[in-house]
């Protein structure tokens, strides 16, 4: 297709989905990998249909957790609608893994040898509108806020099994992480990862560094193992757990100020 045409056609969804807050509270929920839509002009990126069921396309289960958690807390939720294979909303523009040509051993034909114009179009029409939406919601808030980034991780990556049920990823805001790690460990039934299965850094991630660390906002980046939230019962149960623990986290961090 010509790089002068828009990427998104009239039949393609808006790149972000907002679930509006129904109560006053400190949390803004964001979910970079909640969706797996593909702009129709990209022809499924040349990737087999079965691959779209895998974790490479999206964070399995996290949409259900996010919607349920937003409902329980009455908090704003912003979700990315397009697949991370189209463009990864948790990578800075131009990052080497932003538009992956290979993901967990699967080749993404439609991402190979992309022109600068095609990359720019995905950034302009999918990445930036999503982050502009988050920035607008954060910018309009008048009360203390914590950014809660919701993710899920595959139980097995590159053939290696992961033992953690849940992980808290952190970089500059170690205080928030420490409080939430303690709360999760006190649950008694969880294997809790401290910067596992990934380490949060200023360059590997984008959403937390860009929206929270840059502004000095407290944040939590939460990773839940996908087999625990594969069905609705698991999603509800994890949403209920987080809806119980997040206010305790907020009380603790507010009390320390």
Chain contacts with Zn ion (rule: CB under 5 A): 33, 59, 151
Pairwise CA distance, residues 236 & 216, whole Å: 31
Coil, helix or strand at residue 174: helix
Pairwise CA distance, residues 85 & 58, whole Å: 8
Residue whose CB is less far from Zn ion, 60 or 253 = 60
Ranked by CB distance to Zn ion, the top (closest) residue is 151
Residue whose CB is less far from Zn ion, 131 or 151 = 151
Residue whose CB is less far from Zn ion, 35 or 218 = 35
Q: How far is the CB of 208 from Zn ion (least distance, A)?
A: 11
- Are the C-beta atoms of 33 and 58 separated by less than 8 Å? yes
Residue whose CB is less far from Zn ion, 63 or 253 = 63
H-state helical runs in the chain: 62-73, 116-122, 128-140, 174-186, 207, 232-256
Q: How far is the CB of 188 from Zn ion (least distance, A)?
A: 26
Pairwise CA distance, residues 23 & 107, whole Å: 44
The C-alpha angle with vertex 246 and arms to 240 and 251, in degrees rounded to 5, equals: 140
Residue whose CB is less far from Zn ion, 33 or 63 = 33
Pairwise CA distance, residues 35 & 102, whole Å: 19
Q: How far is the CB of 156 from Zn ion (least distance, A)?
A: 16
Q: How far is the CB of 32 from Zn ion (least distance, A)?
A: 6
Q: How far is the CB of 33 from Zn ion (least distance, A)?
A: 4
Give the position of tokens 């949409």.
Answer: 63
Residue whose CB is less far from Zn ion, 32 or 213 = 32
Q: How far is the CB of 62 from Zn ion (least distance, A)?
A: 7
């Amino acid at each position: 297709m010509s790089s002068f045409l828009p990427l998104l056609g009239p039949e393609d969804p808006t790149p972000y989905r907002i679930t509006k807050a129904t109560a006053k509270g400190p949390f803004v929920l964001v979910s970079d990998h909640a969706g797996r839509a593909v702009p129709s002009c990209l022809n499924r990126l040349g990737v087999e249909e079965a691959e779209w069921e895998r974790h490479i396309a999206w964070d399995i289960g996290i949409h259900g957790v996010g919607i349920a958690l937003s409902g329980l807390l009455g908090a704003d939720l912003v979700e990315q609608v397009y697949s991370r294979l189209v463009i990864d909303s948790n990578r800075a523009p131009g990052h080497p893994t932003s538009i992956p040509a290979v993901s967990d051993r699967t080749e993404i034909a439609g991402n190979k040898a992309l022109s600068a114009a095609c990359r720019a179009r995905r950034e302009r029409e999918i990445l930036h509108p999503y982050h502009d939406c988050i920035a607008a919601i954060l910018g309009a808030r008048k009360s203390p806020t914590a950014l809660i980034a919701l993710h899920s991780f595959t139980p097995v990556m590159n053939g290696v099994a992961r033992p953690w049920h849940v992980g808290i990823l952190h970089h500059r805001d170690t205080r928030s992480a420490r409080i939430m790690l303690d709360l999760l460990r006190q649950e008694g039934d969880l294997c809790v990862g401290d910067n596992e299965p990934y380490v949060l850094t200023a360059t590997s991630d984008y959403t937390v560094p860009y929206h929270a660390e840059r502004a000095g906002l407290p944040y939590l980046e939460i990773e839940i193992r996908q087999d625990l939230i594969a069905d609705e019962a698991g999603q509800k149960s994890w949403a209920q757990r987080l809806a119980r623990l997040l206010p305790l986290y907020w009380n603790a961090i507010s009390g320390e100020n």
